[in-house]
Structure 1
């Protein structure tokens, strides 16, 4: 096992993941350069301009749409969701607490008693009426915007994605991918309870890094026509790079103690990681052993589908799910 090559791949993965911010601004700079170019200097420039106008509108539209959707995500997740939580917890509640102590006296028993019952009531009301509905709404809207960002970024850099050969394969791949991701998230939570400190936290961080890398790269790989078995096998073979790629986002989202704040930070930053994944060229074949962390959830997913849908139904209607499992084992 080449330790040096693995460490280099991990560092490059972290570097590539952070490049998403600069990549977005670079895309916008390219738009401005194309808009400011004069097409009437000579006949050669005119001819080249006519050739560019056949291609650039799609590219300009894709790049502008990436920036627009990222601004939408930033406004909803940062400007509305996270800011409202910050305003409630660090402005409204402290001001109300100070007012109560001012009315009843700083050291009075009545002030402490009043705050003891009014604070949880206000927090519960805020979470029920505002935080939970907005969190669910943002998740639904973000899923559409994330897909839009990924598709637009892919078209702007690689053109129109190839179509899948079979609709049934596409459906089976999508359903099986969601099941694998949910089970892998559960596996991440379970390994965090390893009693030996700090192995539980390290194992959980490694799992989250790989999961976030899968989230970010899956949009591009899906547009490239890669089936699930190929996506997972590629991550397992080149795990140092993908651990490094997902590490910054995994660390940032684990800092808050609240899973709501963690989800808000993820939704705020993830669009940049989508662009990073689209622009990145992963380091592969560094001479390391595959890290088969997805194999358990693949086996459980296959068992669940076999028992809930039925083996006969899988072979006739959704046989591609079983094929995905078989192909994964062959990698």
Structure 2
């Protein structure tokens, strides 16, 4: 019961942090660039993308059913009812026009939205981080309360400068992309497990979106990949709670509608994570949570092993270089 209580407290702490959307308003008021990028994201994904889906379902498809009906009573000329192939042709034509709408509009818009939104998300996080600095938020609260060098300072001291440091950074980014790609496939696969698949899918999606939200902040703080994963797996109830509202908003919609909603909400949760100091507050109570039974959960165990197996398939020289970068 004590473990369950501690886990629930951390989960609700993460949920509370995700719902602090007033930070988005505060940060947007402090940065015109942030307000512009956020508005562009809403315009593209909300007005254009979701508006196109609404237009298709509310106007285009009903109009096609009106022009190409499937009942004789709806035909202008009842002589067409005598032709057995009329309704088959109408059905084929309706389906072809709808698919043509998807091919010529939705799919290109979907790809365009993904590419452009990915660029905008990074800008939103960057402008939000800058606005947070101007608002006297501290990005290294741990070091301000302890005169001894922090682990991050030690990492910066150990990390070589110049080309070596750049190569290590590139290696970390490549491994991070590979790790998260495998984890995404793992999340997708859990949806097909009978009975408990939906629950596992919801939980893993919550962790995945929470990690994506905090990853921007950790990148700006230059937090090493191994520290990110260790911290994330150590306080897994907090991040499960943080990612729950993200997933809940899209879980019961079709994939296209769910993507449009998430594309609107994701920058808001990124800004909420950027302005959050709760994960630093929790880290001060590390031993308290460990004593209560909140142990590290190896969330990325499967993804890490699969990623290392993929790296083992590379040529020996490249593989050793990648593993050395990961070890750094």
Aligned residue in 2 for 1:208: 205
User: How many pairs are equivalent?
Assistant: 286
Q: Is the 2:70–2:90 contact (alpha carbons within 8 Å) kept by the matching residues of 1? A: no
Q: Is the 2:14–2:241 contact (alpha carbons within 8 Å) kept by the matching residues of 1? A: yes
What's the offset of the Cα at 1:135?
0.8
Q: Is the 2:208–2:243 contact (alpha carbons within 8 Å) kept by the matching residues of 1? A: yes
What's the offset of the Cα at 1:112?
4.7
Structure-1-length-normalised TM-score: 0.79
- Rounded to whole Å, the distance in 2 between the matches of 1:229 and 1:264 is 32
- Which of 224, 227, 242 does residue 227 from structure 1 map onto? 224
| Equivalences for residues 168-179 of structure 1 within 5 A | 168-179=167-178
| Equivalences for residues 1-331 of structure 1 within 5 A | 2-20=3-21, 22-29=22-29, 31=30, 63-101=31-69, 104-106=72-74, 112-158=87-133, 166-195=165-194, 197=195, 199-257=196-254, 259-280=255-276, 281-282=278-279, 283-284=282-283, 285=286, 286-287=289-290, 288-308=294-314, 310-316=315-321, 318-323=322-327
Q: CA RMSD in A?
A: 2.5
What's the offset of the Cα at 1:28?
4.2
What's the offset of the Cα at 1:101?
3.5
For 1:37-62, what per-residue CA distance to the aligned partner results, in whole angstroms no more than 9, with x for missing partners? xxxxxxxxxxxxxxxxxxxxxxxxxx
Q: Is the 2:64–2:94 contact (alpha carbons within 8 Å) kept by the matching residues of 1? A: no
- Rounded to whole Å, the distance in 2 between the matches of 1:302 and 1:321 is 13
Q: Is the 1:24–1:67 contact (alpha carbons within 8 Å) kept by the matching residues of 2? A: no
Q: Is the 2:37–2:123 contact (alpha carbons within 8 Å) kept by the matching residues of 1? A: yes
Q: Is the 2:28–2:34 contact (alpha carbons within 8 Å) kept by the matching residues of 1? A: no
CA pair 215-28 structure 1, distance change in 2 beyond 3 A:
closer
Any stretches of 5+ residues in structure 1 without a counterpart? 32-62, 325-331
What's the offset of the Cα at 1:158?
3.0
Aligned residue in 2 for 1:56: none
- Rounded to whole Å, the distance in 2 between the matches of 1:151 and 1:320 is 29
Q: Is the 1:315–1:322 contact (alpha carbons within 8 Å) kept by the matching residues of 2? A: no
What's the offset of the Cα at 1:114?
4.6
CA pair 101-315 structure 1, distance change in 2 beyond 3 A:
closer
What's the offset of the Cα at 1:260?
2.3
Q: Is the 2:171–2:326 contact (alpha carbons within 8 Å) kept by the matching residues of 1? A: no
Any stretches of 5+ residues in structure 2 without a counterpart? 140-152
